[in-house]
Amino acid sequence: LYMLSGLLMTIADTAQAQENILDSLILRLRENLDPDRSAEVFSALEAARQAFSEAYSATLSASKLLRNSPSGRSRQP
């Protein structure tokens, strides 16, 4: 369980990195695209950013639960 918790932390870190990349992309697109014509693009990107944010929170929570479970604590290195 401890190893699985570590894997979940890696997944959480990846989701957070993807969210950060999307944030940067959204900022750059806002500077270069006509807001009236790109509202759909921004909406889709924001939905994706939110999904990565939720994935980060969920996997981080799952990792903490595994690390704090009785069987997870007994097998820590």
Question: What's the rounded Cα separation, in Å, for the pair 6 and 12?
Answer: 10
| DSSP for 13-39, written as a single string | HHHHHHHHHHHHHHHHHHHHS-TTTSH
DSSP state of 63: H
pLDDT at 33 over 90: no
- Mean pLDDT of the 30-39 span: 81
pLDDT value for 75: 52
Residue-wise pLDDT tens digits, 43-63? 888 899 899 889 999 999 999
- Mean pLDDT of the 65-73 span: 76
pLDDT at 73 over 70: no
**CB distance 75 to 1 below 8 Å:** yes
Lowest mean pLDDT among 11-20, 47-56, 65-74: 65-74
